Copies of this chain bind each other. A is one copy, B any other.
Amino acid sequence: MAKSRKKSTRSSANASLFDDTNKPVVLSPQDERTLGKIYNLAANITAQAERDAEPVFAIPARSLGNVSFNKEKRVLQMGDKTTNRELFNLSQAKSFMQTILVASGAKRLVEMGKTTSIRGLYYMLKHDIKPTKEPTFHDQGECDPVIEDCEVLLEALREELHLFADKRGDMVGNITIVDSGDEIDCSKMGSGGYAIPSIVEPSVIQFKECKADFVLHVEKNTVWQRFNEDKFWKKHNCILTHGNGQPPRGVRRLLNRLHNELRLPIYCLLDNDPWGYYIYSVVKQGSINLAYESERMATPDAKFIGLRSRDFERCGLSEGVKISLNDVDRRRAKQIAEYPWFVHKKDWQREIDTMLKNGFKLEVEALVSRSISYMTEEYVPRLLREGDFLD
């Protein structure tokens, strides 16, 4: 255990810990910090009770009105509005209880050195409050927002609370990492690749050696397979990732760490459609729902190397690859053009405008109509060489 840990104060994770099979658990410094925050929350509430005050705590508001774009840091951020959660308030008592319950669940997980899915946590905490038949949570939909509440309340990423999300997304390339003590050379991962876990915090994943010059992040696993089969990452000395559509938290956090810790540029190869723009926006600036995590999840320096509205003519694609825009596409495109981080960028305005005028969208796979490896041998190399991307 870390030497710096204080002894026998209630706000510190001091006791010798054991998991549910009675094996001793060694806490990482990060786990100690997380536990400390949970103990503090509990200590504040019991202190209120002990001095006969009505128990209450303040939670940063996760409403849209409390989210803004920080132009300096170039990420979405939460403001400083908070809302109170009071125990002796009929409309708040239940969510008070649920918040404390989730925090206590996270405490158990961290102390045991175990992680679980948010579904697992829901099952772990769900029970009838005896002697009533009132359940702690009616369904998972009631539990998930409380998890987000706990994240902002404790200023801890979900992953630090030992909760994991669905995992999807793979990596290959010129980097060697250590994952849970196993050294993994991502340049020797065959056609399958290394599956990116959902928790990629430094306590789990360390970067051992990286020769790569940049990261190419592609939208779809099928495109990733093409780039991997052509050993693009070997020829261009890079790392190749995908997130199977909108990248899950683990992939976004990994891109963030690869950029911030290893100084690798991140290039995103996405479709020429509103969904591709949106994925780029989430990777770059964070998502509105999870604005409180932007600084650790988003990568404002990421570049868009995806298909462009000009590419139908420029790449000489055949008529058949056009996919007509529908009403939803048009509406989404106009919304995205109004995002604060796109609205003042001429390149992006021109890009979105051209797509709307074209009346069609293009998928990365459309490049196959030129030739199977046009995307890996010509398209991306040319854009990289010419530094021709959207910011």
A contact set with B: CB distance below 8 Å: 19-21, 109, 112, 114-117, 119-121, 123-124, 126-128, 135-137, 164, 166-168, 170, 177-184, 188-199, 204-205, 221-222, 225-226, 229-230, 244, 318-321, 363, 365-369, 371-373, 377
Contact = CB atoms under 8 A, between A and B. Distances in A.
Given A166-B222, A244-B168, A372 B183 contact: no
Given A126-B369, A372-B20, A120 B190 contact: no
Given A20-B372, A191-B204, A168 B221 contact: yes
A190 B181 CA distance: 7
15 contacts: A20-B377, A21-B373, A117-B226, A117-B365, A119-B222, A120-B222, A123-B320, A123-B367, A126-B320, A128-B319, A137-B320, A168-B244, A179-B189, A192-B196, A194-B194
Nearest to A121: B368
Copies of this chain present in the complex amount to 2
A197 B192 contact: yes
Contacts of A126: 318, 320-321, 369
Contacts of A20: 371-373, 377
A194 B191 contact: no
A128 B188 CA distance: 42
Nearest to A135: B320
A209 to B, nearest CB: 16
Nearest to A194: B192
Given A126-B321, A372-B109, A189 B182 contact: yes
Contact of A190 (B137, B180, B189): B180
A126 B198 CA distance: 38
A1 to B, nearest CB: 20
Nearest to A190: B179
- Which of A119, A178, A204, A319 neighbours the largest number of chain B CB atoms within 10 Å of its CB? A119
Given A123-B367, A124-B372, A193-B194, 11 more contacts: A123-B320, A124-B368, A126-B369, A128-B319, A135-B319, A135-B320, A136-B320, A168-B221, A179-B192, A184-B190, A197-B225
